[in-house]
Amino acid sequence: MKQKITRPVSIRIKYTRYVIPILLITFLSIGAIDTIFYFHSVKESSEHEQTAYSNTALTSLESYFSQFTSDSSIFFYKNATQNNLINITQDEGLEFQQLLLNDAPYYPSLSMNYSDNVFFIANNGKLISTTNYSSQLVSDLSPSYITEILKKGDDFHGLPFLFGSTDDSDKLYICRNIYQWTGKTETTGKNRLGTLIVEPKATVFDKIFSLNSNVYQFVLIDNNHHIFRNTTELSEQNIFELVENKRLNTQTYKYTASSFSTSINNLQLLLITNQSLVYKNARMFVILLLFPSILALIAIIGATRFISRSIADEFDYFMEKLNKTKAINNDAFIHMESSIEFSQLSNVYNQTLSRIHALSEKIHEQEILTKNIEIESLQAQINPHFLYNTLNCISGLVDMDRKEECHHALTALADIERMSLKGKPFSTIEEALYYVKEYTYIQKLRFGDNLSILIDIPKSLYHYYIPKLIIQPLIENAVIHGTSKISDKGIIAILGSTDGTNLQICIKDNGPGFSREFLEDFSKSFQQKPATSYGIYNIDKRLKLYYGEDHGLILQNNENSGACIIVRLPLKLVEKPIEKAGNLK
């Protein structure tokens, strides 16, 4: 299963990428949900108000219509009224008018409390009125009105109906045809005696439709889109559009309409709701709530950002301190008092650092001891090898009875052994060259004129220190594996130079040089102990133990012939023992 690789992200970026969007989404979601619920509650409240207002208006309107139907039925279908209407042509309606003046006021819908006037149009065309309840016959209705009313009355056949003229929108009449009552079903409603017309007081409908509200208003309208009462400020065209679409958007407001049927045929009650005003307070509430909400959100984001920045700054300080720590000392310890958590973290870190320092010191002391033992072991391994070869050479001098030279050789050997066994593990180049000359004397006794050894090291380098027994074994290696392998005269050159930082001592010979296999094996740092040229391996390892992997021996062949071994080590004006922990590479 492949492990998902994620790129590291800083606390500030995480805050910007995750915390702020989550805060915004959460805050906006809560605000949106609250706003939706609030508007929903406002909508429900408005619907309840619409139902209550419409029920109240319908109840009042139906009550008035029922009162009119009842009053007109009782008054016009009693015997006295029927007889007067039948004989109305004989007395020109005077007797009926008197009856109308005397009895009508006892019927609520026909009384002066509810109506401004009561008209009756007889079959002979006479218009009998109770205008101001005087005893005069009046003709307030125009012939065109009367014709329209009579035509419409025939359509409703004795049922009450409203009539309003397009010429005078303020005039509204409730009408009903009156028929002769014969007592027989088959003749009922066939002989019309006239038409009753009542002009209700304006206060009747004003009281029914009065809500003291700009939000809810009523309109009385029939199916033919004739408007009887309009309590709104909307035009007829707007009312028709509302009836058709149930919605209306003007430049100022938005309206909706709810339609309710009445007991009077073809008459509807429209409840017009100004939706803009319904939600005006809700919108104002949301807007007013928005400002403190935005301030609260800004405060939350600011506080969170401040906290995240503080944490990030503490982390930055902590990491900067870690990155600058190069050695375990007093400057490496971290002291943070900004927060309890980071204070505890710094304390734990300091305690861990102290334990690591103590452990590192202990381990490094053991490493120093181990390396010193290893160096001494390597140096001790060179001595027997060198001593064996030198004694071999002296043995040859004894055989040749060269006593004086043998004596000189033994003295030189004694000096070299004394140097290797006693004293410190370092010597100056000048001291090393002295013992090199002693050693080359022994070699020249062995090989005579067949070996020449040249030394070219500037005196300016004589006071620098190098480890003991470095140059002699390399000269011995050049003799054994180099010049002794050729028939011509052997030449060994010891050269010294510096680049200002490092010291290079080069031992060259004109022998056959190194084989390719040997150079490849040496480049692998002799992971296994070599079978031959052990001295080279020994010296290289000693130098690396002293100075690190960047120093040691460099092996190569000369351009023409022969081998070249370069000793690379740092320039040191003092002896260089293995140093304390913290300075090792």
8-48 pLDDT per residue, tens:
656 666 666 667 777 778 877 887 787 788 778 888 888 88
Q: Reply yes or no on whether the pLDDT at 504 is more than 50.
A: yes
Tokens of 33: 């949900």
Tell me the percentage of the chain whose pLDDT exceeds 90: 5
Q: Reply yes or no on whether the pLDDT at 427 is more than 90.
A: no
336-389 pLDDT per residue, tens:
666 666 677 777 777 777 777 777 666 655 555 555 555 455 444 445 656 676
Q: What is the pLDDT of residue 494?
A: 93
Q: What is the pLDDT of residue 82?
A: 86
Q: What is the DSSP letter of 528?
A: S
Give the list of residues 6+ apart from residue 444 with CB closer than 8 angstroms, or none: 451, 453
pLDDT band at 139 (very low <50, low <70, confident <90, very high): very low
Out of 226-230, 248-252, 422-426, least confident range: 422-426
Q: Reply yes or no on whether the pLDDT at 582 is more than 50.
A: no
- Residue 353's identity, in one-letter code, is L
Torsion of CA 571, 576, 578, 580, to 10 degrees: -90
pLDDT band at 304 (very low <50, low <70, confident <90, very high): confident
**pLDDT average, residue stretch 148-161:** 84
Q: Reply yes or no on whether the pLDDT at 413 is more than 60.
A: yes
435 CA to centre of own chain? 77
Q: What is the pLDDT of residue 132?
A: 44
Q: Reply yes or no on whether the pLDDT at 191 is more than 80.
A: yes
Q: Reply yes or no on whether the pLDDT at 62 is more than 80.
A: yes
Inter-residue contact 214 to 274 (CB < 8 Å): yes
Q: How far is 580 from 569, CA to CA, in rounded Å?
A: 19
Q: Is-above-0.85 flag for pTM?
A: no
**pLDDT average, residue stretch 52-60:** 87
Q: What is the pLDDT of residue 384?
A: 63
Q: What is the pLDDT of residue 442?
A: 77
75-130 pLDDT per residue, tens:
888 888 888 888 876 667 778 888 888 888 888 888 888 888 888 888 777 778 77
**pLDDT average, residue stretch 385-396:** 70
- Residue 505's identity, in one-letter code, is I
* Closest to 478 in 3D by CA, of 445, 449, 454: 454
Alpha-carbon torsion (276, 277, 278, 281), positive or negative: positive
**pLDDT average, residue stretch 278-303:** 76
**pLDDT average, residue stretch 522-546:** 71
User: Which DSSP string do the residues of 64-115 spell out, in sequence order?
Assistant: HHHHHHHHHHHHHTSHHHHHHHHTTTTTTTHHHHHHHHHHGGGSGGGSTTTE
> Of the segments 31-35, 50-54, 298-302, which one has the largest average pLDDT value?
50-54
Give the list of residues 6+ apart from residue 83 with CB closer than 8 angstroms, or none: none
Q: How far is 120 from 99, CA to CA, in rounded Å?
A: 12
Inter-residue contact 416 to 385 (CB < 8 Å): no
**pLDDT average, residue stretch 512-541:** 74
| Tokens 């109770």, residue located | 130
Q: What is the pLDDT of residue 274?
A: 87
Q: Reply yes or no on whether the pLDDT at 136 is more than 50.
A: no
Give strand ranges (E) for 155-253: 161-164, 172-179, 192-200, 216-222, 227-230, 247-249
Q: What is the pLDDT of residue 495?
A: 93
Q: How far is 451 from 491, CA to CA, in rounded Å?
A: 6
In the chain the domains, ranked by start, together with CATH numbers, are 77-206 (3.30.450), 362-570 (3.30.565.10)
Greater confidence (459 vs 304) lies with 459
3-state secondary structure of 455: strand
